[in-house]
Amino acid sequence: MILAPVRSGEAQTLDTQMVPILYSRVCAPRLSRQEHYKSVPGVVATSVGYTGGNSDGPTYNSVCRGDGHTEAIKVDFDPSVISYEELMRQFFADNKYGGGKKQYMSAVWAQSKEQAATAAKLANEQGSSVPVLDPTEWHDAEEYHQDYIAKSRRGYSTDPY
């Protein structure tokens, strides 16, 4: 997960997901977390994308083929409404274990030394093995991945006919 503070009404991306919250295992839980963070007061924007790799221009297909990137969530927030620490508390409440396949691993990409110290402290307090990593370049995922859960809901009907 990347959390980026917003100042003066403008989102600032300190890195990719810059404080991306990355979720492991299956896509659905990670994508539903994007929807969750959008509902948190003080969160001004979220996006899903790729970080942690070395190749330029990752795509969903290249990430699936193992190009070294991780699927992640970038959360832009207003620190006058919600703190980085509170967002990290929410993240670590749901993410206790790090590691796993690079594409789906859980991790935090801290955007500053202060964020890294806060995330490491909270991970330790909550007994989480989720790694706190240095920032890497962020790449937005393809449009069809953005707000995937909300788009899926609009596409389904309960009408059997």
pLDDT of residue 149: 56
Q: Is residue 123 domain-resident?
A: yes
Domain that holds residue 92: 2-148
Q: Is residue 28 domain-resident?
A: yes
Domains identified in the chain, total number: 1
pLDDT of residue 67: 92
Higher pLDDT, residue 55 or 17: 55
Average pLDDT over residues 20-41: 58
Q: Kindly report, residue by residue over 40-91, the tens digit of the pLDDT.
A: 898 888 888 888 888 889 999 999 899 999 888 888 888 888 889 999 998 8
pLDDT at 35 over 80: no
Q: Is residue 154 domain-resident?
A: no
- Cα torsion 120, 122, 125, 130 to 10°: value is -60
pLDDT of residue 18: 36
Q: Kindly report, residue by residue over 78-119, the tens digit of the pLDDT.
A: 888 888 999 999 888 877 777 678 888 888 888 889 999 999
pTM: 0.74
User: Average per-residue pLDDT in the chain?
Assistant: 74
Q: Is residue 50 domain-resident?
A: yes
Residue 136 sits in a domain whose CATH number is 3.30.1060.10
Higher pLDDT, residue 84 or 24: 84
